[in-house]
Amino acid sequence: MLRFIARRLVGMALVLFAVSLIVFVVFNVIPNSPPAQRLAGKNATPVLVKSIEEEWGFDESLPQQYLTMMKKVFTNELISYAPRISVEDQIVERIPATLSLSIGAGIIWLFFGLVLGYFSALRAGGWLDRLLTGVSIAGISIPVFLIAPVLIYFLTYKVEIFPNAGYVALTEDPWEWLTHLILPWFTLAILSIGFYSRVLRSNMLDVMNEDYVRTARAKGLSERKVMTRHVLRNSLIPIITLFGLDFGATIAGTAIITETIFSYEGVGQYAALAVANTELPPIMGVTLYGAFFVVFINALVDIAYAYLDPRVRLGSTAS
């Protein structure tokens, strides 16, 4: 198991290296115009462009340029030039907000997705199952940019249940933190609740036909134990993979729309603003940050996977 984890972490480092190379190529090599001009942003003075060119060493060889870029990333010298602020500081400052949003939403969608999926599967074909199917499909079909304004309109303006927009730090006021987050959480989670309950339901219906479930019944286990220890447990394995991908992607940027609509000061909103102002360094920074979380969460998931399914630990199947 330890060897598996070590191997997985090495793999993670390699993937991150590849991502940083791609970022470098996409931002600094491919575009057919002086990179310093683009990094400087709109309305940059020739003096600024000149200094960026020297700072980033754009007259040197490409490997040297890559090293310079990575050095900046790791030493907190990646800065945006319109207002001269450190990109890293900006991201780090906003990470608590984005993590509050994504982790909370992740817990909500996993919990409701699993509960709804489990009961759908137990009552497959019954009225509860059909109702949940309808609700799930509605949840999957409603886009975030529709549901978020509708929720804000009815629950913040019409009936003033939830406060309007923004993020309050947990350390500042836990109650405000919570009330500010409930709407964004559900906005973000609702699609996945529907999707996860569908996936779990169909996994469980497949697993119910497995021979080992019949074996479990033949041993005299109670129906509840058969369902939880054998059917649910084995149906969760693919769900974990899915969750790793989705959760990583949520932290990395799926939350952009939600954060923007709720004027929520997270990393997603920072990225959206940077795009709007054509500021390259923040986009670069957010891309690397996003890649890190996707890869990191997936490494965690693979490790969890190896724990859940002993066959994965064999080695040959591990990547």
Partner 1 sequence: MSPSPLLSVTDLRVGFATEGGLVQAVDGVSFDLRQGEVLAIVGESGSGKSVTAQTIMGLTRSNNSRIEGSVKLAGEELTDADDAILRNIRGERVAMIFQDPMTSFNPVYRLGRQIAEAIRAHRGDVGDDEARDRAIELFEAVGIPDAERRVDSYPHEFSGGMRQRAMIAMALALEPEVLIADEPTTALDVTIQAQILRLIEDLNRERGLATILITHDLGVVADTADRVLVMYAGKVVEQGTLDEIFYDPQHPYTWGLMGSLTRLDRPRPKRLPQISGSPPSLLDLPEGCSFRPRCPHEFAKCPEVPALESRLSEAPGHCDRCWLSPEQKREKRQVAGQIGLEAPA
Place of tokens 């909500």: 108
Interface region with partner 1, contact rule CB under 8 A, candidates 5-13, 28-36, 46-54, 217-225: 217-225
Torsion region of 182: left, alpha or beta (phi above 0 gives left; psi -120 to 50 gives alpha): alpha
Pair of tokens at residue 316: 């040959």
84, 158, 224, 311: residue in contact with partner 1 (rule CB under 8 A): 311
Strand, coil or helix: 86? strand
Residue 313 class from Cβ within 10 Å (0-12 exposed, 13-18 middle, 19+ buried)? middle
Pair of tokens at residue 279: 């500021």
Interface region with partner 1, contact rule CB under 8 A, candidates 23-31, 143-151, 274-282, 307-315: 307-315
Closest distance of CB 300 from partner 1, Å: 19
Measured in whole angstroms, the distance separating CA 317 from the mean position of its chain's CA atoms is: 25
Neighbours of 22 (CB within 10 A): 12
The reply to whether 217 sits near partner 1 by the rule CB under 8 A is yes
Residue length of the chain: 319
Closest distance of CB 11 from partner 1, Å: 23
Beta partners for residue 79, in sequence order: 86
Closest distance of CB 308 from partner 1, Å: 7
Phi, psi of 2 (to 5 degrees): -65, -40
Nearer to partner 1, 222 or 263 (CB): 222
Closest distance of CB 133 from partner 1, Å: 19
CA distance 293 to 278: 24
Pure H helices in the chain: 2-24, 35-40, 46-56, 62-74, 87-122, 127-141, 144-152, 174-208, 211-218, 223-225, 233-249, 255-261, 267-276, 280-308
Nearer to partner 1, 7 or 225 (CB): 225
Closest distance of CB 295 from partner 1, Å: 26
Pair of tokens at residue 309: 């399914």
Closest distance of CB 304 from partner 1, Å: 13
Interface region with partner 1, contact rule CB under 8 A, candidates 42-50, 75-83, 141-149, 222-230: 222-230
Interface region with partner 1, contact rule CB under 8 A, candidates 7-15, 96-104, 232-240, 268-276: 232-240
The reply to whether 214 sits near partner 1 by the rule CB under 8 A is yes
The reply to whether 228 sits near partner 1 by the rule CB under 8 A is no
Closest distance of CB 222 from partner 1, Å: 6
Nearer to partner 1, 95 or 312 (CB): 312
The reply to whether 317 sits near partner 1 by the rule CB under 8 A is no
221, 240, 242, 303: residue in contact with partner 1 (rule CB under 8 A): 221
Angle subtended by helix axes 280-308 and 2-24, to nearest 10: 160
Nearer to partner 1, 91 or 216 (CB): 216
The reply to whether 130 sits near partner 1 by the rule CB under 8 A is no
The footprint of partner 1 (CB under 8 A) covers 210-212, 214-223, 225, 229-230, 233-234, 237, 308-311, 314
